Amino acid sequence: MKGQIGNATTTMTIMDFAVDLNDIHGNKYDRVILQDVQVNPKFNYNLFSIIKLLKDGFHLKGNSTSLYVAQYKDRKQIHFDVKVLTNTSFLFGAYMCRI
């Protein structure tokens, strides 16, 4: 059966934090503050809502090797260039280091 199995995950806290943005090779290209991040300390990752950014005025661009969201007025971009293969497709991740 396909679908979610087990208990749903929950948010432990909501917080803002600054991150350095890096490309897939670890080269820093910018620093931003992520706002209203839903955090669960049991995970070694954070999920990122592109829909929230689109509602905040960002634009989504991409192809089969990477995605990025851009806010033209502030010249901010977040690159999702870490490709994670799954059984049937792939996901994109971003390399961010919390400051």
Which range marks the domain in which residue 69 is found?
A: 14-98
**Residue 7 resides in a domain:** no
**Residue 92 resides in a domain:** yes
**Residue 81 resides in a domain:** yes
**Residue 72 resides in a domain:** yes
Q: How far apart are CA 52 and CA 44, in angstroms?
A: 22
pLDDT tier at 2, thresholds 50, 70, 90: low
Q: What is the tally of structural domains in the chain? A: 1
**Residues 9-65: pLDDT tens digits?**
777 788 898 999 999 999 999 999 988 888 878 777 777 788 988 998 999 999 999
**Residue 29 resides in a domain:** yes
Q: Is the dihedral of CA 26, 27, 28, 29 positive or negative?
A: negative
Q: Residue 6 has what pLDDT?
A: 65
**Residue 1 resides in a domain:** no
**Residue 75 resides in a domain:** yes
Q: Residue 79 has what pLDDT?
A: 95
Q: How far apart are CA 56 and CA 71, in angstroms?
A: 9
